[in-house]
Structures are given as C-alpha cells and as structure tokens.
Amino acid sequence: VIDCFGAGDNVLQRVSKVVMYYIYLGIGTALASFLQVSCWTMTGERQSIRIRSLYLEAVLKQDVSFFDVEMTTGEAISRMSADTVLVQDALGEKVGKYAQLLTTFVGCFIIGFIRGWMLALVMLACIPPNILSFAIMSRLRSQISARRQASYADAGNVVEQTIGAIKTVGSKRLNYV
C-alpha cells in the first residue's frame, strides 16, 4: 500500500486496486463469519435438543423413590434446562470462535517468527502467565457456576412446593364451598 503512494504515475489506479482487494477481503470475512456462527449455532442447538430429550427419558425411567432421596423434581427440571444451555453454549458459537482464534494465534506467531524472531521470542515469554491467569479465572467461574446451579435447584424446589401448596389450598377451598 505504501509503495503505491510513493510513485507519481498511475497512483489512482494502483490505490483503487488495493481498495478493491480490501473490499473483497471484507466481503469474504463477513461471509466466513456468518457461516461460522450460523453453522456452529445450529450444531449446538441440535445437540442441546438431543441431550435434553435423552436426559428427560433417563429421568422418567427412574423410580419414584429416586426423587425423594437422590434428586427432587425441581432440581431435575432446573438442571435439565441449565445444563443443556451450557452444552449449547459450549458446542455452539464458542467452538467456531475457539478454532478461529487458535488459528489466528498460531498464524500470527509463525509470521512473527519469520519477520522478527527476536520480538516473537520475547512475546512467547508472555504466554505462561496468561495461561495461568486464564486457568485461575476458569476455576473461579466453574465454582461460581456450581453455586449458582445449586441456588437455582433450591429455588426450583421452593417454587414446586409452593405451587403444590397452592393447589392443595385451592382444592380444600372448593370442598368447603
């Protein structure tokens, strides 16, 4: 691009050619991004639906005493909805984004080592602290997510018991009228 501006002859023609390359690159990037997001989102949605139906089938096969001892129905419902959303997020758009970012990272380091290996080597030293900080954040997020999931299960139990009590009161009220 800079070489085009240095020459005096045919500057407009050369600049127009470079601009067209950027336009084509933008169109290609937009199309690839759309395909990446839409395909991975559809894949995640399909997997989530399949997992939800298999989970419901497995829960319905359980004995009634299972819901008294192991798990309440509110917990089963909240886990089914929350866990499938997590699976959908993990298998959906994030897989495509991960592949894109990993490819970009590796490609940039290859170009960096070809163009200026000393600077790339210095930048390589920054990777272990970043990985450590990401690991710590991931662990904290998973702990917070587990606590949040337990809270949702407890809330589901309270709602289930409340609705059951309302039904009981409503049926008793109809008997007295």
pLDDT at 27 over 90: yes
CATH code, 44-176? 1.20.1560.10
pLDDT at 21 over 80: yes
State pTM to two decimals: 0.57
Per-chain mean pLDDT for the chain: 83
Identify the pLDDT of residue 169. Answer: 73
Q: Are 78 and 155 in contact (CB under 8 A)?
A: yes
Q: For 79-116, how does the pLDDT look when each residue is reduced to its tens digit (9 = 90+)?
A: 787 778 888 888 888 888 888 899 999 999 899 999 98
Identify the pLDDT of residue 79. Answer: 76
176 — pLDDT class (breaks 50, 70, 90)? low
